[in-house]
Amino acid sequence: MSRKVPLFRLSVLVFGFAFLYVPILSLIVYSFNKSRLVTVWAGFSTEWYGRLFENQQILGAAWLSLKIAAINATGAVILGTLAGLALARFGQFRGRTILSSMTTAPLVMPEVITGLSLLLLFVAMEQIIGWPAGRGVTTITIAHMTFTMAYVTVIVQSRLATMDDSLEEAAMDLGARPAKVFFLITLPIIAPALLSGWLLAFTISLDDLVIASFVAGPGSSTLPMVIFSKVRLGVSPDINALASIMVLLVAIGVVIAGILMSRQEKTRQRDMQMAIAENQ
């Protein structure tokens, strides 16, 4: 086998990643453009970043979105873990098929349908039981939890499927009751999966426009809703600045995670080699 990457595969990757990254890079480049016209270059400037941080509407919406995303992610992880646990560990129980359908359907359900149906539910609930009174943060959070828990469920379920279930049996055999087994063994072992589920639920919530638009009330505009109302009217340079900041934050997070992961992998490899070497 030759060590050289075949030309075909190389060009596929170059083309593919160019397609994925050129638009993002163009956003960043134009965010430093002096001109209001965004795509007509008129010299370097950081003016739009200053403008962005003066825009109370965007800042307020961003803060609201972060709050909703954090609450949502926490709730989604709890619900998704329970559902994943039930689906992966409880064998056949009554209603299993319905539960598993209800947890996978939101993954592909068009957002307009989810949004509309939840709004109609909230309206009906308000009429009948008087809760939730009006629409706003609560209704957005409930709506987001409902469809992001599906992602968490899938992550938890597939993590549990690859986890050796004799670990749990061993703990039970050593005298731990089922609840204790979950908290002392299962939860610590799947914690990294829960963390990535939390991050995913957080990002999806932060990103959602359509469902939030349906179930939001007056005065509860999330960041995507504010962005949407602005970009609908065409390009605007402070949105480019906002996009650049978001990309930067994500990139920093990913790089840090990558460094941590590769360092861990190295320690792990070293430990294993040590154990093998010692044994000889």
Partner 1 sequence: MTGRAESPTSQRLSTGVQLILRVLHHFAPHRWTHARLLKWGVTGRTLVIAVPYLWLLLFFLVPFIIVLKIAFSETQIAMPPYQPLVHWVGDKAVNLTLNFGNFLFLLEDNLYWKAFLNSLKVAGISTFFCLLIGYPMAYAIARADSTKRNVLLMMVILPFWTSFLLRVYAWIGILKNNGLINNFLLWTGVIDQPIVMLQTDFAIYVGIVYSYLPFMILPLYSNLEKMDLTLLEAAQDLGCGPFKAFMKITLPLSMPGILAGSMLVFIPAVGEFVIPTLLGGPESLMIGKVLWTEFFNNRDWPVASAVAIALLIFLVVPIVYFQRVQARETGGGVHR
Partner 2 sequence: MASGARNDGRFEPWKAPGAEPYIRIDRVTKKFGDFMAVNDVSLKIYKKELFCLLGGSGCGKTTLLRMLAGFEEPTAGKIFIDGVDMAGIPPYERPVNMMFQSYALFPHMTVEQNVAFGLHQDKVPKSEIRQRVTEMLDMVKLGQFGKRKPHQLSGGQRQRVALARALVKRPKLLLLDEPLGALDKKLREHTQFELVNLQEQLGVTFVVVTHDQEEAMTLSTRIGVMNAGEIVQVGTPSEIYEYPNSKFVAEFIGSVNMFEGRLIEDEPGHVRIHCPDLDGNVYVDHGVSSPPGAVVFAAVRPEKIVLSRDKPASADNMAHGIVKEIAYMGDMSTYLVRLDSGKMARVTQPNTWRHADDRITWEEPVYLNWHPSSPVVVSE
State the residues that interact with partner 2 by CB under 8 A. 164, 166-167, 169-177, 180, 184-185, 188-189, 268, 271-272, 274-276, 278-279
Partner touching 172 among partner 1, partner 2, none, CB below 5 to 8 Å by kind: partner 2
Per rule CB under 8 A, is residue 59 in the interface with partner 1? no
Distance CA 239, CA 49 (A): 9
Buried b (16+ CB within 10 A) or exposed e, 8-33: eeeeeeeeeeeeeeeeeeebeebbbb
Per rule CB under 8 A, is residue 53 in the interface with partner 1? no
Among 235, 243, 237, which residue's Cα sits nearest to residue 45? 237
Distance CA 248, CA 28 (A): 9
The nearer residue to partner 2, 10 or 272, going by C-beta atoms, is: 272
Partner touching 272 among partner 2, partner 1, none, CB below 5 to 8 Å by kind: partner 2
Q: Which residue has the tokens 């050129």?
A: 22
Q: Which stretch binds partner 1 (CB under 8 A): 42-50, 54-62, 168-176, 188-196?
A: 188-196
Q: Which 3 state secondary structure label does DSSP give 44?
A: strand
Alpha helices in 32-95 (DSSP H): 47-54, 56-89
CB of 86 to partner 2, least distance (A): 19
Per rule CB under 8 A, is residue 149 in the interface with partner 1? yes
Distance CA 26, CA 244 (A): 10
Partner touching 133 among partner 2, partner 1, none, CB below 5 to 8 Å by kind: none
Per rule CB under 8 A, is residue 207 in the interface with partner 1? yes
Which of 39, 57, 229, 273 binds partner 1 (CB under 8 A)? It is: 39
Partner touching 128 among partner 1, partner 2, none, CB below 5 to 8 Å by kind: none
Per rule CB under 8 A, is residue 268 in the interface with partner 1? yes
Partner touching 176 among partner 1, partner 2, none, CB below 5 to 8 Å by kind: partner 2
The nearer residue to partner 1, 43 or 188, going by C-beta atoms, is: 188
Distance CA 201, CA 211 (A): 14
The nearer residue to partner 2, 142 or 163, going by C-beta atoms, is: 163
Distance CA 125, CA 119 (A): 10
The nearer residue to partner 1, 53 or 261, going by C-beta atoms, is: 261
Distance CA 277, CA 280 (A): 6
